[in-house]
Structure 1
């Protein structure tokens, strides 16, 4: 017999692959351990949150909507500042748990052939450039980071997205975060016919659901935390309102466009419409005259004016023939009486108003059957 052959040395790629597999295995074991630890008292905690919320008279499905004019970003001096201003609105909405942002046109009907005024979008149709840009940036910020590449291709409106501060909302989960619910996108990964779909929810492995869904659709997935095999996760597709209704956790906002103030009310997504509407203006009555928790609501709407105020926006609406704006709203309030500056910018008014109204609003119990789905597709993401 000859001398024993020397074993071949492993290549760098082999070592690298083995290292990655071991690291992934350790992470999966750690994740399973976390799942088991957090699952012990989860059901009790969730029931406690809901019961405590209902005892306080605050239903987890009561909603707050704000309406802002798209023209406010025209007042910015540069494209970077336009983007940053939109980010300020998104941050304020997230901080105060706003469920819906309506971007409306307060300039009236604009001729389609007028340069630099209107633009045609495949999904949104013909709208003012400012309204389209504001709506797109708001949706971009609301979308979890790991999903943005699927819904937001390169676009001029998002050219300066790097200046935006992250929302860091509860549904913006990182890979190592443990959560009962996750936002995801339906993949086109091949699977047996009729055997469901694979959902990318920002984890190492996709989640399997039993429903056959259209690839590219944004969905909310409920993932059971009792699963031991993290390589083959399974879940169910649920309403995007379920995370908040079950656990009380804020789950982002929806964005829609309105061609005028009338459409803010007529295209309300909630059954029965807004039962509390509030207009904000320095010509309104003082908010100090409202007692705490006096404004009861299921679905509240707060409307803000642009550079010329709400009065000018009402005049530009061809469907409205009123001179007194107080006739349009349940309350017409000055949320910052005795202001030092002659004017308050809209992005400042949103923060001031939501802070003041937080003490005045008292949400009522709202049955789940009266709540429409908030996000069922990637409506403005194209």
Structure 2
């Protein structure tokens, strides 16, 4: 079963105005990841939102532990969301060392129990892995110099966290995240292994960053695109009423690919500000309906509430 839900959240949910340090940013990402796994979200899109004037002038969002530029907020959030669905034995293979240092809080949090490999005892023969090159023997020429070899593009070897590296029947591209059947020594789809798959037929949810508002719609993780775009007002702690978008209320429909945008309207307007889309003058023209949740809800809570109401 391929998920039909795409979740969009703003990068501002871990900005200085919402999270004062790495710990709070990590907890925010964790709650979003847990809700996404619980409700089988197939894709998470991070909408890169320009920060406030002061942050734009300094070009920095200052966490207590580490300075990050505004654009790094999206990358940090994306990395944290990916970390929470990555088996611990693959972390060093999947992420760069400079990124892993941001996981010091995340490593202490419980694994999300709804992840396929955490709950499916019947899928014991399936493992998550990453393809790696075969260890080559160093050869020297007559002059004693090391003979350079052309790096291979494919391999049969997969690191699955076991003592022995798994050798597949067929070669696959190097540094590819895969789900494998350890009995047949073959690559399988997450759908075959766990009964569900995310966007691009990936394990868990697929994460991408939308640096432009339009790319939220033009670069979908699903080849068919989205059937409905649902807006949920969340993260606005000072408004006493829903934003006046003029959009109708959401009505439940089956077999639809849904794009759920959970953000405060001001962030949507900021992201849309520099767009030049023919025939579109307001962001609500690219949306279909709204789903109301209690006012003043934080983004991470709004994600859980809105997913539960779909």
What range is the shorter-chain TM-score in?
A: 0.7 to 0.9
Judge which range, 266-275 or 100-109, deviates more: 100-109
Q: What corresponds to 2:238 in structure 1?
A: none
Helix, strand or coil: the match of 2:214? helix
Q: What corresponds to 2:176 in structure 1?
A: 217
Helix, strand or coil: the match of 1:343? coil
1:186 Cα deviation after fit: 1.6
Q: What corresponds to 1:50 in structure 2?
A: none
2:47, 2:210 within 8 Å by CA — same for their partners in 1?
A: yes
Change (3 A) 1:257 1:213: same
Measure the CA separation in 2 of the matches of 1:316 and 1:268.
Answer: 21
Measure the CA separation in 2 of the matches of 1:65 and 1:191.
Answer: 42
Change (3 A) 1:322 1:239: same
Kindly indicate whether residue 269 of structure 2 is the aligned counterpart of residue 312 of structure 1: yes
Kindly indicate whether residue 30 of structure 2 is the aligned counterpart of residue 87 of structure 1: yes
Give deviations 1:351-377, integer Å, cap 9, x for gaps.
1101111xxxxxxxxxxxxxxxxxxxx
* Partner residue of 1:258 out of 210, 225, 243: 210
Measure the CA separation in 1 of the matches of 2:217 and 2:248.
Answer: 27
Q: What corresponds to 2:124 in structure 1?
A: 179
2:60, 2:70 within 8 Å by CA — same for their partners in 1?
A: no
Q: Which has the larger radius of gyration?
A: 1
* Partner residue of 2:302 out of 328, 344, 349: 349
Task: Give the total of aligned pairs.
Answer: 271
1:278, 1:301 within 8 Å by CA — same for their partners in 2?
A: yes
Judge which range, 276-285 or 179-188, deviates more: 276-285
Helix, strand or coil: the match of 1:295? coil
Q: TM-score, normalised by structure 2?
A: 0.73
1:163 Cα deviation after fit: 4.5
Measure the CA separation in 1 of the matches of 2:160 and 2:122.
Answer: 12
* 1:319-338 paired onto structure 2 within 5 Å: 319-320=276-277, 325-334=283-292, 336=293
Measure the CA separation in 1 of the matches of 2:175 and 2:254.
Answer: 39
Q: What corresponds to 1:199 in structure 2?
A: 158
Give deviations 1:220-268, integer Å, cap 9, x for gaps.
21334xxxxxxxxx41123444435xx3478411100111221110111
Measure the CA separation in 1 of the matches of 2:257 and 2:127.
Answer: 25
1:205 Cα deviation after fit: 3.3
Q: What corresponds to 1:146 in structure 2?
A: 89
* Partner residue of 1:237 out of 187, 193, 218: 187
1:81 Cα deviation after fit: 0.9
Measure the CA separation in 1 of the matches of 2:77 and 2:88.
Answer: 18
Measure the CA separation in 2 of the matches of 1:172 and 1:297.
Answer: 26
* Partner residue of 2:59 out of 80, 93, 115: 115
Q: TM-score, normalised by structure 1?
A: 0.60
Structure 2 portions without partners, runs of 5+: 63-68, 138-151, 234-241
Measure the CA separation in 2 of the matches of 1:256 and 1:276.
Answer: 19
1:147 Cα deviation after fit: 1.0
2:132, 2:155 within 8 Å by CA — same for their partners in 1?
A: no
